[in-house]
């Protein structure tokens, strides 16, 4: 089957260009994420994320550690953006996502970011994975437009921490094919303490509702690889700090029990987590089993689970069976 990503239609109608231009306006008083710093990033004023007009790309590569339906056999074409808008003290990716510096050497032009997308397509990746794109969401659209004009035909994954602006997400409707948000906490107090963010639960619920409105609860496949849909990631934290039950209750009752969940056990105390007594260890079997029980309790029957020993491995290791997704 020949897959045509949704943004091609918008490119051909001229709407993709219009959306890209409209998105750039948001940078003039930045509300790209719910922190609403309202600084003029168009003129390189810096808000909480210390990011200016151009995107900062820390790395790009075919990535084989995503869920199997995203990595496939040729890898997800991941582009990792620097200067994340959250500051998780346990960030498993902190070397490339938490490099907040007002330095320009990793900034790339819109044209260069488009070239990177085309290069990932050329080497055979299944998709373009925008990793931690939120704070550059208003600027990435221009690169997608340029890349589409030069032949980009891969589905786009929006792989986010979930703390996104609904206003910006609306501009991505029909452009993002696969939403891949984290839902980190069902508790604002822990979100504030461990990720330095206000109102995470409410803001993330609103963002994920918008993603769900756009793509629904069904996953669409091209062969064995997903090309459209929503997958919500949830990393189980020690001492129940993620408040998993509230997250699952929201998904089941306010979205749909058919939403696909990627349940992650890979937590290990990295970055600054060793300084925090409640986070200074890996997950216990009993803590993870509790999360598995909650999947059952709320009837969340689609998705993937990691095996417990995954914390030894930076890259996730998922059990996967398309007919019976939670079967090990
Ligand atoms: S993207 Fe950065 S500057 Fe804009 S609102 Fe968020 S933290 Fe502030």
Q: Tell which residue, 165, 65, 161, 54, has the closest CA to residue 110.
A: 54
Q: Which of 55-69, 175-189, 240-254 has the lowest mean pLDDT?
A: 55-69
This prediction's pTM: 0.93
Domains annotated for the chain, with CATH where assigned, are: 7-319 (3.20.20.70)
For residue 100, pLDDT beyond 80: no
Query: Quick one: pLDDT at residue 326?
Result: 39
Q: Which residue from 270, 259, 170 is spatially nearest to 210, judged by alpha carbons?
A: 170
Task: Identify the pLDDT of residue 219.
Answer: 96
Interval between CA 191 and ligand 1 midpoint (Å):
17
Task: Verify whether ligand 1 is closer than 6 Å to residue 27 (CB atom).
Answer: no
84 CA distance to ligand 1 middle (Å):
9
Helix (H) or strand (E) run with residue 137 in it: helix 137-149
Note the pLDDT tens digit of each residue in 128-177: 999 999 999 999 999 999 999 999 999 999 999 999 999 999 999 999 99
CB contact at 8 A, 302 and 260: yes
Q: Is 105:58 a contact under the CB 8 Å cutoff?
A: no
Alpha carbon 284 to its chain's center: 26
Mean per-residue pLDDT, 205-209: 98
Mutate to test the pocket of ligand 1, among 23, 35, 56 (most ligand atoms within 8 A of CB): 35
Taking CA atoms only, the protein residue closest to ligand 1 atom 1 is 135
What's the CA gap between 270 and 264, in Å, rounded?
16
pLDDT digits (tens, 9 = 90+) for 35-74: 999 999 999 899 999 999 999 998 999 999 899 999 999 9
Inter-helix orientation angle 137-149/110-122, to 10°: 60
pLDDT score for 154: 98
Residue 174 DSSP symbol? T
Mean pLDDT, rounded, for 304-325 = 51
pLDDT of residue 327: 34
**Which atom of ligand 1 is nearest to 31's Cα?**
5
Residue 315 has pLDDT above 50, yes or no: no
Candidate from 30, 36, 50, 84 with most ligand 1 atoms within 8 A of CB, to mutate: 30
Q: What's the mean per-residue pLDDT of the chain?
A: 91
Q: How far apart are CA 275 and CA 271, in angstroms?
A: 9
Is the pLDDT at 313 greater than 70, yes or no?
no
pLDDT tens readout for residues 268-286? 898 899 899 999 999 999 9
Report the C-alpha gap between 321 and 328 in whole angstroms: 8
pLDDT given at position 13: 97
Q: Which atom from ligand 1 is nearest to the alpha carbon of 36?
A: 5
> Cα of 171 to ligand 1 centre, how many Å?
17
Beta bridge partners of 215: none
Largest CA distance in the chain: 55
* Confidence at 125, pLDDT banded by 50, 70, 90: very high
251-274: average pLDDT? 94
Which of 313 and 10 is assigned the larger pLDDT? 10
Q: Is 138 in the pocket of ligand 1 (CB under 6 A)?
A: no
Q: At 241, give phi and psi (nearest 5°).
A: -70, -15
């Amino acid at each position: 089957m020949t897959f045509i990503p949704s943004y091609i239609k918008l490119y051909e109608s001229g709407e993709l260009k219009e959306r890209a231009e409209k998105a750039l306006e948001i940078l003039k008083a930045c509300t790209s994420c719910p922190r609403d710093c309202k600084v003029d990033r168009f003129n390189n004023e810096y808000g909480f994320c210390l990011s200016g007009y151009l995107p900062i790309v820390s790395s790009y590569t075919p990535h084989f550690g995503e869920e199997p339906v995203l990595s496939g056999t040729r890898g997800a074409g991941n582009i990792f953006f620097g200067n994340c808008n959250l500051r998780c003290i346990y960030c498993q990716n902190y070397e490339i996502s938490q490099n907040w510096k007002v330095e320009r050497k990793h900034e790339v032009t819109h044209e260069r970011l488009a070239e990177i997308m085309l290069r990932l397509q050329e080497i055979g990746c299944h998709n373009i994975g925008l990793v931690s794109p939120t704070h550059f969401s208003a600027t990435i659209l221009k690169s997608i437009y340029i890349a589409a004009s030069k032949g980009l035909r891969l589905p786009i994954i929006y792989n986010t921490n979930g703390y996104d602006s609904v206003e910006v997400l609306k501009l991505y409707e029909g452009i993002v094919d696969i939403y891949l948000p984290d839902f980190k906490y069902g508790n604002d107090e822990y979100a504030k303490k461990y990720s330095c963010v206000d109102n995470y639960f409410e803001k993330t619920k609103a963002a994920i509702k918008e993603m769900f409105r756009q793509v629904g609860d069904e996953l669409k496949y091209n062969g064995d690889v997903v090309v459209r849909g929503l997958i919500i990631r949830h990393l189980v934290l020690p001492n129940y700090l993620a408040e998993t039950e509230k997250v699952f209750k929201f998904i089941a009752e306010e979205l749909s029990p058919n939403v696909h969940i990627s349940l992650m056990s890979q937590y290990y105390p990295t970055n600054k987590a060793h300084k925090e007594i409640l986070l200074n260890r890996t997950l216990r079997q009993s803590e993870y089993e509790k999360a598995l029980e909650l999947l059952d309790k709320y009837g969340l029957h689609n998705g993937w689970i990691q095996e417990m020993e995954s914390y030894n491995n930076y890259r996730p290791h998922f059990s996967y069976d398309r007919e019976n997704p939670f079967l090990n």
